[in-house]
């Protein structure tokens, strides 16, 4: 073997050793960092490139070598489908496992809070309930309900302040069961509830055309719906009560609806006295003032909104609750009939 061959052989061996060492090193650097299954939460921000993500994974102790991860992504044509979010990863994961999670958007679910607002609740009742459940600060919730500064839901523009409303958002926070991220602010919660009202309105066929036909503003519609909600328990009567409200308005009669006085009292009173009906001097008191109150008195259900949009056609001007536990009403066209119904209702109770 001459010198040239020996030298060539030596070079080849050195190259093989280098290549082998490089291969072993590369293979080793691409293996999971450890056998530990301890999870690490990593946030991949929107717009983060693969280089930034690789460096972050190395920084958080999830991979051995960020350069190897970048090269691996390039070789596999991966990285353009990574989704932003908070991920739970561990140093025992392979490159492919990490890539799979980032591609699928298998993010950590945020801690959530659930709450239910019953139909017919007032702003005060909501504030009490949500504060008791540790979800809102009661004072801040009520303050924001009066002046929803910073809440930019487009629907809110349809409910301008008239300076007489007790709470600007009364009747607009839709009663429903909600799920929001834990730590959501009062404004976040109100925004979600306002958006739900928009969704529910949009679910009523031709609601805008019906509103225009009745020549009502959205505030007036929700006010009528809130009166129905607080006065009616039996669904079949909602449209009848709506007809009474509109009939009395058309004739210039006071509405004389107990629920408006109950609203002013703050807490429901089992039985209203004549003194209650007259002593609360407020535009919400429909025993003292004609027309609708300045705004809704509670958050109505879809059924009440639909009844306000499409009432029955009747000549009824009065109704009184049956005192038989059915929570139904007796309806009358004249005051004389109404008095007879009152007597009838009282006799049922005896």
CATH number at residue 96: 3.30.1490.480
What pLDDT shows up at residue 194? Answer: 97
Do 83 and 163 sit in the same domain of this protein? no
Whole-number pLDDT of residue 270:
66
Instruction: Decide if 61 is inside a domain.
Output: yes
**246 within domain boundaries:** no
Is 90 exceeded by the pLDDT of residue 225?
yes
Classify residue 97: in a domain, yes or no: yes
Are residues 138 and 195 part of one domain? yes
Under 8 Å between Cβ of 151 and 191: yes
CB 159 within 8 A of CB 216: no
Q: What is the predicted pLDDT for the residue at 280?
A: 77
Query: Domain ends where: 56, 82, 104?
Result: 104
Confidence check: pLDDT of 271 > 60: yes
Note the pTM of the prediction, 2 decimals: 0.76
Residues 72, 132 within the same domain: no
180 and 132 housed in the same domain: yes
Indicate whether 340 pLDDT > 90. yes
Position 10 scores a pLDDT of 65
pLDDT of residue 37: 73
Domain that holds residue 151: 112-202
Q: Are 261 and 277 in contact (CB under 8 A)?
A: yes
Same domain, 61 and 116: no
Question: Contact at 8 Å (CB) between 291 and 249?
Answer: yes
pLDDT score of 189 more than 60: yes
| Highest averaged pLDDT of the listed ranges 48-57, 109-118, 241-250 | 241-250
**Nearest CA to 314 among 258, 242, 252, 256?**
242
User: Does the structure show a pLDDT above 70 at 30?
Assistant: no
The CA distance from 12 to 283, in Å, is 99
Show which of 202, 227, 262 is a domain's final residue: 202
Q: Are residues 122 and 191 in the same domain?
A: yes
Query: Are 96 and 143 within one domain?
Result: no
- Average pLDDT estimate for 218-226: 97
Phi and psi angles of residue 221, each rounded to the nearest 5 degrees, phi first: -60, -50
Task: Say whether both 170 and 149 belong to one domain.
Answer: yes
State the chain's mean pLDDT as an integer: 89
Q: Is residue 58 part of a domain?
A: yes
Q: Where are the alpha helices (DSSP H) in 37-85?
A: 50-59, 66-76
pLDDT-based confidence at residue 142 (cuts at 50, 70, 90): very high
Mean pLDDT over 294-298 rounds to 97
Beta bridge partners of 181: 112
E strands, 71-146, where? Answer: 85-89, 112-116
Q: Are strands 329-332 and 318-321 parallel, antiparallel or unpaired?
A: antiparallel
Residues, the chain, total?
Answer: 350
Residue 219 confidence (pLDDT)? 96
Residue 322: inside a domain, yes or no?
A: yes
Give 99's contacts (C-beta < 8 A, 6+ positions apart). Answer: 73, 76, 78
Q: Are residues 48 and 116 in the same domain?
A: no
Q: Are residues 133 and 60 in the same domain?
A: no
Q: Could you tell me if 116 and 100 lie in one domain?
A: no
- Tell me the C-alpha distance between 106 and 109, whole Å: 9
Residues 118 and 82 in one domain: no
Helices (H) and strands (E) in the chain, counts: 14, 6
Round to whole Å and give the CA distance between 307 and 311.
Answer: 5
- Tell me which residue of 132, 131, 85 sits closest to 108, measured CA to CA: 85
Any domain includes 134: yes
User: In the chain, how many domains are there?
Assistant: 3
Cα of first residue to Cα of last residue in the chain, in angstroms, is 127
Instruction: Give the model's pLDDT for residue 24.
Output: 56
129 lies in some domain: yes
Q: Which of 144, 167, 202 lies at the terminal end of a domain, its last residue?
A: 202
- Model confidence at 269, pLDDT cuts 50, 70, 90, reads low
Is residue 16 one of the residues assigned to a domain?
A: no
């Amino acid at each position: 073997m001459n010198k040239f061959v020996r030298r060539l052989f030596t070079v080849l061996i050195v190259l093989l050793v280098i290549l082998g060492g490089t291969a072993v090193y590369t293979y080793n650097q691409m293996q999971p960092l450890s056998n530990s299954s301890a999870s690490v939460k990593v946030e991949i921000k929107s717009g983060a490139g693969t280089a930034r993500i690789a460096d972050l994974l190395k920084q958080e102790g999830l991979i051995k070598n960020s350069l190897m991860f970048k090269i691996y992504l390039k070789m596999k044509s991966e990285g353009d489908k990574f989704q932003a979010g908070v991920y739970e990863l561990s140093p025992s994961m392979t490159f492919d496992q990490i890539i799979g999670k980032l591609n699928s958007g298998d993010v950590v679910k945020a801690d959530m809070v659930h709450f239910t607002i019953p139909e017919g609740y007032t702003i005060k009742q909501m504030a009490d309930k949500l504060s008791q459940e540790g979800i809102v600060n009661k004072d801040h919730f009520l303050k924001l309900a009066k002046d929803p500064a910073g809440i930019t839901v487009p629907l809110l523009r349809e409910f301008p302040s008239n300076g007489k409303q007790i709470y600007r958002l009364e009747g607009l926070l839709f009663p429903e069961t909600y799920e929001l991220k834990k730590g959501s602010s009062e404004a976040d919660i109100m925004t979600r509830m306002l958006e739900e009202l928009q969704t529910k309105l949009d679910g009523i066929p031709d609601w805008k055309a019906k509103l225009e036909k009745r020549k009502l503003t959205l505030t007036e519609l929700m006010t009528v719906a809130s009166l129905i909600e607080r006065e009616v328990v039996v669904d079949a009567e909602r449209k009848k009560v709506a007809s009474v409200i509109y009939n009395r308005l058309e004739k210039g009669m006071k509405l004389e609806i107990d629920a408006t006085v109950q609203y002013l009292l703050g807490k429901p009173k089992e039985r209203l006295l004549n003194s209650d009906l007259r002593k609360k001097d407020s535009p919400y008191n429909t025993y003292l003032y004609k027309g609708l109150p300045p705004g809704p008195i509670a958050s109505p259900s879809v059924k009440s909104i639909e009844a306000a949009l499409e009432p029955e056609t009747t000549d009824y001007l009065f109704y009184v609750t049956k005192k038989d536990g059915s929570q139904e009403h007796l309806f009358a066209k004249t005051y004389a009939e109404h008095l007879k119904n009152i007597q009838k209702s009282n006799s049922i109770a005896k």
